[in-house]
Amino acid sequence: MKAQKKLTKHDWNFGDVPEVELVACCYWEFARESASICGAVEITKTAYANQGIARPESAEREAFRSAADKAFGLLHSTGFDSSFWAELPFPETWQSVDKTKRVKWARVLPKIPAPVKFPPFAVSNDLCIAGALYGEARKAHEARQAIYLRLSQIDSGVANLKEAGELRKKVSEQEEHPTPAMVQGQGGVDSFIAQINWHEFSKKDIKKCFNKWVDNYSCPIAKPSRRGHKPVDWRASLERLGLLRLRSRYTFDKAKPFLKQLYSQQQSAQSQPPRKYNDKGECNREAQKAVDDYHEIFPFLNTEMPYSWPLK
């Protein structure tokens, strides 16, 4: 949060947010951490207020129009309509928004537009290259199968041992210089052409994107995973954001009374508080994960840090 603004309970405690509002609340609250989005909303609100007002053209008006275009584009990238940001009292906390206005957005999921730049990792759809490589791999595969067929005939006494020796030598040479298996599913191997955006993303970003692609890719020859695909835990993301805001404004000892309030909402009579509520290192690690959530929700802000960073 901005240092001069008082931290309210709704800035860090999201326990009262209904399940149907979690996604909207998560985008809203993480957007309040962004200098770029806050600035874009301010410009957009002004543009909305000036609609229908005829004014003479000027350099200042042209500059504002250009800034407004960028602002609308940035808000569009969030996946929510600009009215979500401009017609509600952003940047006030989500829980302070009138319930009748929140209910309109309760079940709305963000419609994320396709990225303009290459993602960190993606399988290429260049069918010409893929087709050519697939064809060459198919030829190599069929040639090797023909050799094995001929060897089986020789072993059955159909041909002579000299030819068998030559064929086995050829197989040995192929194994020293193997052709990549491009035949889908052959030997349990699936092959693709991939592109990696080394220029704009770190190795961590690329690995994360690759892991996500593997999780979402459906292949009939893949062994089934022993664990199901973990859904997005929006409440956990909000809790981490709350921890980040608390730790950015208070020392761990001064934050303890607030952490107890968070734990009291989740505990059962027999439960013990998780370490994130009573251990400084664990609390800080959870708070730092909120920065990853921030960049996951707004990947186009991959170089921007939230207001609440760094920790105290």
d(CA 294, CA 94): 16
Per-residue pLDDT for 227 more than 60? no
The radius of gyration computed from the CA coordinates of the chain, to the nearest angstrom, equals 29
How large is the average pLDDT for residues 286-299? 93
Per-residue pLDDT for 1 more than 70? no
Judge contact between 110 and 78, C-beta under 8 A.
yes
User: Residue 278: pLDDT band by 50, 70, 90 thresholds?
Assistant: confident
Look up residue 68 and give its two tokens: 């407004």
Q: How many CB atoms lie within 10 A of CB 32?
A: 23
Per-residue pLDDT for 205 more than 90? no
Q: For all residues of the chain together, what is the average pLDDT?
A: 80
pLDDT tens track for 14-54: 999 999 999 999 999 999 999 999 999 999 999 888 875 65
Q: Which of 125-129, 150-154, 274-278: highest mean pLDDT?
A: 274-278
pTM: 0.66
What residues form DSSP beta bridges with 122? 195
Q: Which residue's structure tokens are 């190795």?
A: 203
pLDDT tens track for 180-198: 544 455 555 666 778 788 8
Mean pLDDT is lowest, of 51-65, 71-85, 167-181, 223-237, for 167-181
- Strands (DSSP E) found in the chain: 121-123, 194-196
pLDDT tens track for 158-180: 556 677 777 777 777 666 655 55
Per-position b or e across 220-247, b if 16+ CB within 10 A of its CB:
eeeeeeeeeeeeeebbebbbbbbbbbbb
Look up residue 17 and give its two tokens: 């947010």
Look up residue 229 and give its two tokens: 């695909």
pLDDT tens track for 234-269: 999 999 999 999 999 999 999 999 998 887 666 555
